[in-house]
Amino acid sequence: MEELWNFLFGKAGFLNFDFLPKYGVYFIQGLEYTLMLSVGSVLLAIIPALLLALMRLSRHIVVRGIAGAYIAVFRSTPLLVQLAIIYFGVFYFIKVPSIYIFGFINLSHFIPGIVALALNSAAYVAEIIRGGILAVDYGQTEAARSLGLSSWQAMRLVVLPQAIKNMLPALANEMITMVKESSICSVYGMMELMWAAKTVSGTTFISVGPLVLVAFMYFCINFPASKAIEALERRMRRGDRKR
């Protein structure tokens, strides 16, 4: 019985949340930081991702090669390495002032983090956009061109609006992935959820409880989001069947 108590409520207990009254604010701030990092990075990635997707669909081999090289590099190297290069390399030369917003977000840490996540996400979102465009029947483009639209007008007015429907579930999944991937930013002192767990563990010597709480918070974000995506996909398939 004592072993079970220690397993659940001891210093390394899975349900030892004695730290919450004093340090609960860390986890609230960490949740806000995590959501801003993940949502902001995906939104920031959309424009370069669209450009990369169009480059990948270009007829010019050099343009396709540049986009393909970018995507290959960012998809084939660890996010932690990318973050380190951007944090210590790029932002060694680009000085970001150490200004706090909302009282706990340090821009000198936040901006390198969101840029690294956005550049990484752009490689994946580009492939999502490219797949969505290719899923639109080429006859739609031919019909638009026959009406006198230019290639860009056909893409912007005819193809992309239809492609967005194909992209939405995958983009939503990328958002969920970014919520989880943002935890890596804690390595460089960014005050997201994982940073809160490590800080509280080091201060209170309660090792597992903060991690369990953080895992539960990630679950509460991502599980409802995944169910919403499934519902969206079912609704979209139902619309296709009606046609």
Is the pLDDT assigned to residue 12 strictly greater than 80?
no
pLDDT of 205 reads 86
Confidence of residue 167 (pLDDT cuts 50, 70, 90): confident
Q: Using CB atoms within 10 Å of the CB of residue 195, give its burial: 0 to 12 exposed, 13 to 18 middle, 19+ buried.
A: buried
CA-wise closest residue to 37 among 107, 86, 92, 127: 107
| pTM for this model (two decimals) | 0.85
Average pLDDT of the chain to the nearest whole number: 87
Q: Using CB atoms within 10 Å of the CB of residue 103, give its burial: 0 to 12 exposed, 13 to 18 middle, 19+ buried.
A: exposed
pLDDT of 157 reads 83
| Percent of the chain whose predicted confidence (pLDDT) is above 90 | 42
Tokens 């309660």 belong to residue: 206
Which of the 8 DSSP states describes residue 156? I
Is the pLDDT assigned to residue 214 strictly greater than 80?
yes
Q: How many CA atoms lie within 13 A of 183 on its CB side?
A: 16
pLDDT per residue as tens digits for the range 13-56: 788 888 999 999 999 999 999 999 998 998 899 899 999 998 99
Confidence of residue 82 (pLDDT cuts 50, 70, 90): very high
pLDDT per residue as tens digits for the range 98-156: 888 888 888 889 999 999 999 999 999 999 999 888 888 888 888 888 888 888 788 88
Complete domains list, the chain, with CATH: 2-242 (1.10.3720.10)
Confidence of residue 225 (pLDDT cuts 50, 70, 90): confident
β partners of residue 105:
101
Give the pLDDT mean for 57-68: 92
Give the pLDDT mean for 182-209: 89
Contact predicate 178/41, CB 8 Å: yes
The total of other beta-carbon atoms located within 10 Å of residue 209's CB is 25
